[in-house]
């Protein structure tokens, strides 16, 4: 694969990733809007207890962005609160920050500065206490409130947000000390549903663009099998598994190079991260293609085989085997490297099997592979990286690769890639439970 196609493949995979993220974000917005809004259209949090030995509890906020109001329109905030004393009236109001500062100057009040739900869900607020010696006038006597509500029982104040510096104030209606209320806050944004649909639609469009780029690169890199790469009849006949798995040996190895291969492979790890985004998208598209047509799209098949081949080359050079010092090429094509994989293209695949083989039928193999490669919730490496490490240590001190370990390491990797080929829907032949060919 040329450098330009690698760049296109990375760009396409990144676009796919962005599209999936936008689709998830848009779907989340729609889900929240349709699921958690009340009859009045407000998204409301559960009531929270507010208790402070002060004349008022305040919550300052700064709202910026005149352009947002021009573009999307305002949102509405609703604050509901009730006193712990059923006979005591409460006051809820919002006003400009400078007006509230002048009104509460010289009095004791508590200012909410931060939320700490993870520390104490019942009392999540972090307060800053302002100490004073005087008592404020009754809040209803002041004319500067932008919006307010007062009375006995549950009070509800609605406020259409405006840009500026504002302060929400909760007090006893008579201005007395010790505020003890339960309150909740809700927001209503009439444009939220439409914005969710827009983000979802953009995500679908971006995903389609990314898939188009990946498919274009995959189609251009498709390669017809040659006499060297076509599996023999003995390898594809009924009862055997259709894969050619190469792991050539015999070259001299550097005793210490394996110590820094993790660093040398960083460019491959970066490229593979993007390749596997395209791999996942190709698998998803191919699943539906198999369900409706019984065929794996050829361009997607060749691309996914190429990604698997690339992965095995990196693993053979790196810590899945440490069995070669030849640096892996940056290509999806086959040939020219000691490690290689070939999978014959299946003309027909069973649509019903495509639904179950990757998550149900392959479970016994997944259990085995969790011991081979690690994972499955275990906190230590699998046999393959452990044995490869042993091979590296032996190589470091003796200068020779331990040939007694090679068949075992290669066999477990062969098993792994058989299962990967099966789970990614490239064949209906069930992987055998054995290490050899």
Asked if residues 130 and 104 have their Cβ atoms less than 8 Å apart, the reply is yes
Question: What's the pLDDT at 220?
Answer: 56
Given the structure tokens 């389609």, which residue do they identify?
Answer: 208
Lookup: tokens for 356: 């179950």
Least confident of 104-118, 200-214, 219-233, 382-396: 219-233
Question: What's the pLDDT at 163?
Answer: 82
Question: What's the pLDDT at 120?
Answer: 55
Question: What's the pLDDT at 423?
Answer: 95
What is the average per-residue pLDDT within 247-273? 92
CA torsion 300-302-308-311 (nearest 10°) is -110
Element (H, E) at 369: helix 363-373
pLDDT surpassing 50 at residue 236: no
Write out pLDDT tens, residues 123-166: 667 889 999 999 999 999 999 999 999 999 999 999 888 888 99
Helix axes 298-317, 406-423, angle to 10 degrees: 160
pLDDT surpassing 90 at residue 101: yes
Asked if residues 276 and 433 have their Cβ atoms less than 8 Å apart, the reply is no
Question: What's the pLDDT at 333?
Answer: 92
pLDDT surpassing 90 at residue 54: yes
Q: Across 88-178, where does the E strand assignment appear? A: 89-96, 109-115, 125-130, 147-152, 155-160, 164-172
Question: What's the pLDDT at 162?
Answer: 81
Q: Which band of pLDDT confidence, cut at 50, 70 and 90, is reported for residue 121?
A: low
Asked if residues 319 and 385 have their Cβ atoms less than 8 Å apart, the reply is yes
pLDDT surpassing 90 at residue 208: no
Question: What's the pLDDT at 225?
Answer: 40
Mean pLDDT (the chain, rounded): 84
pLDDT surpassing 70 at residue 56: yes
Element (H, E) at 27: helix 3-35
Question: What's the pLDDT at 232?
Answer: 40
Least confident of 58-62, 133-137, 187-191, 384-388: 187-191
Domains, the chain, with CATH or none: 40-189 (2.60.120), 231-423 (no CATH)
Distance in angstroms (rounded) separating the CA atoms of residues 214 and 142:
65
What's the Cα-to-Cα distance from 30 to each of 68, 76, 132, rounded to whole Å?
20, 18, 47
What is the average per-residue pLDDT within 345-374? 88
- Report the DSSP beta bridge partners of residue 171: 56, 91
What is the average per-residue pLDDT within 225-234? 38
Asked if residues 163 and 75 have their Cβ atoms less than 8 Å apart, the reply is no
Question: What's the pLDDT at 2?
Answer: 55
- Other C-beta atoms closer than 10 Å to the C-beta of 347 total 8
What is the average per-residue pLDDT within 321-335? 94
Q: Which band of pLDDT confidence, cut at 50, 70 and 90, is reported for residue 47?
A: confident
- Pairing of the two strands 56-63 and 109-115: parallel
Q: Which band of pLDDT confidence, cut at 50, 70 and 90, is reported for residue 378?
A: very low
Distance in angstroms (rounded) separating the CA atoms of residues 358 and 380:
25
| 91-93-99 Cα angle (round to 5) | 125
Question: What's the pLDDT at 44?
Answer: 81
Q: Which band of pLDDT confidence, cut at 50, 70 and 90, is reported for residue 281?
A: confident
Helix axes 363-373, 406-423, angle to 10 degrees: 140
Query: Number of helices and strands (H, E) in the chain?
Result: 12, 13
Question: What's the pLDDT at 231?
Answer: 41
Question: What's the pLDDT at 138?
Answer: 92
């Amino acid at each position: 694969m040329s450098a330009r196609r690698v760049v296109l493949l990375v760009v396409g995979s990144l676009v796919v990733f962005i599209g999936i993220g936008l689709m998830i974000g848009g779907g989340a917005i729609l889900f929240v809007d349709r699921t958690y809004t009340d009859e009045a259209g407000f998204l409301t949090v559960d009531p929270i207890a507010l208790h402070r030995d002060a004349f008022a509890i305040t919550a300052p906020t700064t709202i910026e962005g005149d352009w947002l109001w021009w573009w999307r329109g305002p949102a509405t905030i609703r604050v509901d609160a009730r006193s712990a004393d059923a006979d005591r009236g409460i006051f809820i109001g919002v006003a400009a920050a400078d007006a509230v500062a002048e009104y509460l100057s010289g009095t004791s009040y508590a200012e909410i500065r931060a939320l700490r739900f993870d520390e104490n869900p019942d009392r999540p607020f972090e307060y800053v206490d302002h100490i004073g010696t005087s008592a404020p006038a009754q809040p209803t006597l002041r004319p500067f409130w932008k919006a307010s509500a007062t009375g006995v029982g549950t009070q509800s104040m609605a406020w259409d947000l405006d840009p500026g510096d504002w302060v929400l104030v909760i007090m006893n209606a008579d201005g007395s000390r010790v505020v003890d209320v339960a309150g909740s806050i809700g927001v209503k944004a009439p444009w939220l549903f439409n914005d969710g649909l827009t983000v979802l639609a953009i995500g679908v469009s971006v995903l389609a663009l990314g898939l188009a780029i990946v498919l274009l690169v995959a189609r251009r890199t498709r390669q017809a099998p040659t006499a060297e790469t076509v599996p023999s009849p003995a390898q594809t006949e009924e009862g055997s598994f259709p894969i050619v798995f190469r792991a050539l040996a015999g070259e001299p190895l550097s005793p210490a190079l394996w110590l820094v291969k993790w660093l040398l492979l960083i460019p491959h790890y970066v490229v593979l991260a993007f390749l596997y985004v395209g791999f996942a998208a190709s698998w998803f598209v191919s699943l539906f293609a198999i369900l409706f047509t019984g065929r794996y799209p050829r361009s997607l098949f060749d691309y996914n085989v190429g990604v698997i081949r690339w992965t095995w080359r990196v693993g053979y050079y790196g810590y899945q085997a440490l069995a070669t010092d030849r640096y892996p090429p940056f290509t999806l094509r086959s040939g020219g490297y000691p490690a290689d994989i070939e999978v014959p293209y299946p003309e027909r695949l069973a649509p019903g099997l495509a639904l179950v083989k990757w998550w149900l039928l392959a479970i016994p193999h997944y259990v085995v592979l969790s011991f081979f490669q690690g994972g499955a919730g275990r906190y230590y490496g699998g046999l393959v990286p452990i044995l490869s490490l042993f091979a590296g240590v032996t190589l470091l001190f003796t200068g020779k690769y331990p040939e007694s370990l090679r068949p075992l390491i290669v066999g477990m990797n062969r098993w792994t890639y058989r299962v990967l080929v099966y789970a990614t829907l490239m064949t209906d032949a069930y992987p055998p439970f054995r290490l050899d060919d």
